[in-house]
Structure 1
């Protein structure tokens, strides 16, 4: 290597360091000296040849037999220097996992908030029950004449239907009383589905549900 001693090069016009078995890259600081001629021949320099100062004039310097040099001004006819590949910054896997997890958590929270809001907008079963008339078993028994066979108007696998007259506030109201056979599996579920269907259908021949017990 050429020692970077700037004070020793001050005032020099010509510099000949050929045949000295020097190696490494040509020092960039040599571009700053006002040399008329520089001889670096028959050494073992490598890497890119500088472009400025004395290196800007092909006749002002010699680099013969430095076979590992590249670049420099066009007149030198040296091969282009290989670009050093920059290491691509790989995105850490744990960062990707954190981003995905946070996105999923956000989606879950939004879905939960939406479902909660939707459930609040629906009337609860307790509020629906409050809207129905409160009728005792004794009143039903009286209205159907003790669930008499003569009042039986329908019979199915899950329930029986009786006609009756409900005396409510001194007003005789004709009603149909449906008695579920809860010992039969699926009876209550069948009735709930029936109620849901009735709620969405309007017809003059359909009875309105006035209570559930």
Structure 2
């Protein structure tokens, strides 16, 4: 999700100033995407430039400027909610890229990379599960949906890590040179066998 559309969604609720938007954004997403107030005001300036938000002309007691959604901003937000995300709209999978590079970089133990990541992901999954257990199902529905998404993603990551380790183990088995077998296998090539000496 872009910060741009997140702020538009919040302004659909009611006019707000920057600090309010930052607080509501983090509250709505369970602080899974922390924002600094500079990002908020930079994005607001772009939204205002594009005609999607405007200043109300009002300010609070501290002089903070209040913003509201324009008709164009409402149309932009409606279109965003109605449009499915494409794979190209999502961030690249840094973990998959990291493992692929570890596999082809000399001196890197790719199995250690996988095991280290699995430990961290399982720890993160436990923390998410703990947060879900203490959330209020009636009051925190939006936060629970975000939590569920993060839990499913972490579970999928653990499955992928297990799959990757299994694939690498199978690959190592097929690439291992076959051990010599049979009674004549130990005879060096430049030395005659016992049968040759007896002749």
Q: Give me the TM-score of the superposition, normalised by structure 2.
A: 0.23
Q: Give me the TM-score of the superposition, normalised by structure 1.
A: 0.22
Q: If each structure's helix is expressed as a fraction of its own residues, which one has the higher value?
A: 2
Q: If each structure's strand is expressed as a fraction of its own residues, which one has the higher value?
A: 1
| Higher CA-based Rg | 1
